[in-house]
Chain A
Amino acid sequence: MCNFAFNEGFTILMQDFLATFSQAFQLIFSFDKDLYEIIGLSLSVTFAAVLISCIIGFPLGAILAIGKFKGRNFIRLIVTAFMGLPPVVVGLVVYLILSANGPLGVLQLLYTPTAMIIAQVILVTPIIAALSSQVIIDLNEEYDELLRSLGLSSFAKMKTLLFDARYSLLTASLAGLGRAMAEVGAVIIVGGNINHVTRMMTTAIALETSRGELALALGLGTVLILLTISINAALMMIHSNARKNAYA
């Protein structure tokens, strides 16, 4: 009797699950406008944040790796520690800075994609900088005598190291991208999850799940996972090709 009830419950659950999945795929393949608007915003915010983080993080990582100045180890420690910054805390700090009474309130950036980009840059930059720093340290161990014998300036040395570490730095940026793509805590605070303005995949999944709109949530989740896999696969291919040519 009990066994029968369990089987029946499991069958209903599976049917619900399959129906939700089917609806999710319908949304994806019918090119649902709302869904693709959310995907588009998510990608633009995430890529903008990762790009800015790379522009800041790569040179910062190189400076922390080979720069000779007082407090370098302390700054490295802080940057490495900031890899694990709690997103909600970052969201709260950015919210306070951008809110009407905050120091940058006059810019009226709160609840805009720009605010979400700022929050993600704060979260992602330490990851990219810390990982880049380690990559550059390792490469510098190999290149140091050559670069010194060429009499390169610190700036030229950093340029050489950053260029030659380019494929390993892709992995660092990938780690940052992973963090940005999956981020929900900070962007929901500073973006507000406003429909057609600041709704991203992760914030929409959280909202739709709480509203019981599982099809849209699942559709977004599927797209999010597929995108993450595709980006990782593309970068892995680039890295593997570079390794074959001994460029990585």
Chain B
Amino acid sequence: MPMPSANIIEVNNLCYNANEKNAVGDALPLLNDISFKLVTKDSSKITAIMGPNGAGKSLLLRNLAGLLTPNSGEILWHGTPNINAKELAIVFQKPILLRRSVRANLEHALLAFKTPKDQLHNGTEQLLELGQLTDLANRPARILSGGEQQRLAIVRALAGDPKILLLDEATASLDPQTTFLIEKIITDTSKNDTKIIMVTHDLSQAKRMADDVVFINAGTICEHTSTKQFLSKPKSQEAKNYICGKLTL
């Protein structure tokens, strides 16, 4: 069924608190009154979530993925709070790989997404090819290099043909060649009706890939604008400081 081009994700007044309390006994707000809307259209296929360390980017991504429950506020997918697990996939900064071969990792994901058994082999081969992992198919996944592991994690996330792909610093600490390969997989995926929301610190990566940027600082959204505008004329002082490399305390 074709996806409507209206708001694909709508986050309204989302707050997330840690269990720790501050000096006066109030819960520490890690995400504070976060609201934004993301649409799926040609001008917004890839959204980058940016911000300094500890700003709450990964927390926001985990809230979007349903791995954390917000203390208040709501996340709506096409206007409803529920989303099928198959439609949403997340790739973590440190890939979580099963203690199995590369092929078995992909088969596990395909089976989790109810792929019919007769399509399992073809599906696995396609994913192996997409991640350029065919030669490594029978190798134990956890002895692969960091880049190979991340490629595996990304193609595994695509096993369910998700409509939304969340990436948490998926290319952090990878070499340029692997980064290029992963970026290509992500860009190709975005051309295939999949909305990409990626957390990144890399300004040049955001410039290369993202159509718009959600900038977060200290758990609050400072601005949500096009990448071009964000990089050339950021509105908030926090974003200006971030782009200039100034430390904001």
Contact = CB atoms under 8 A, between A and B. Distances in A.
Interface of A: 142-143, 145-146, 148-152, 156, 160, 164, 167, 245-248
Nearest to B65: A149
Given A160-B98, A247-B99, A247-B100, A145 B140 contact: no
Interface stretch (B30-38, B88-96, B174-182, B201-209): B88-96
A247 B92 contact: no
Interface string B64-94: 0111000000000000000011101110100
Interface in B99-122: 99-100, 108-109, 112-113
28 contacts: A142-B96, A143-B96, A143-B98, A145-B62, A145-B90, A145-B92, A145-B96, A146-B92, A146-B98, A148-B66, A148-B67, A149-B89, A149-B90, A150-B112, A151-B84, A151-B112, A152-B112, A160-B98, A160-B108, A164-B98, A164-B100, A167-B99, A245-B140, A245-B143, A246-B99, A246-B143, A247-B100, A247-B142
Contact of B142 (A143, A152, A246): A246
A34 to B, nearest CB: 45
Nearest to A157: B112
A164 B85 CA distance: 22
Nearest to B109: A150
Contacts of B112: 150-152, 156
Interface of B: 62, 65-67, 84-86, 88-90, 92, 96, 98-100, 108-109, 112-113, 140-143
B109 to A, nearest CB: 6
Nearest to B108: A160
Contacts of A156: 112
Nearest to B68: A145
Contacts of A248: 99
B99 A151 contact: no
B85 A151 contact: yes
A83 to B, nearest CB: 26
Contacts of B67: 145, 148-149
Contacts of A246: 99, 140-143
A182 B67 CA distance: 46
A67 B65 CA distance: 22
Contacts of A149: 65-67, 85, 88-90
B96 A146 contact: yes
A211 to B, nearest CB: 51
Contact of B140 (A142, A146, A247): A247
Contacts of B98: 143, 146, 160, 164
Given A145-B67, A248-B99, A150 B143 contact: no
A165 to B, nearest CB: 8
Interface centre among B66, B84, B98, B99 (most CB of A within 10 A): B99
A142 B96 CA distance: 7
A164 B99 CA distance: 6
Interface centre among B109, B112, B140, B142 (most CB of A within 10 A): B112
Contacts of B140: 245-247
Nearest to B157: A149
A143 B96 CA distance: 7
Closest 6 A/B residue pairs (Cβ): A151-B85, A246-B142, A146-B96, A150-B112, A245-B140, A164-B99
Contacts of B96: 142-143, 145-146
Contacts of A160: 98, 108
B105 to A, nearest CB: 10
Nearest to B85: A151
A156 B143 CA distance: 25
Nearest to A146: B96
A239 B214 CA distance: 47
Contacts of A148: 66-67
A143 B140 CA distance: 17
A70 B35 CA distance: 37
A167 B142 CA distance: 15
Nearest to A164: B99
Nearest to A139: B99
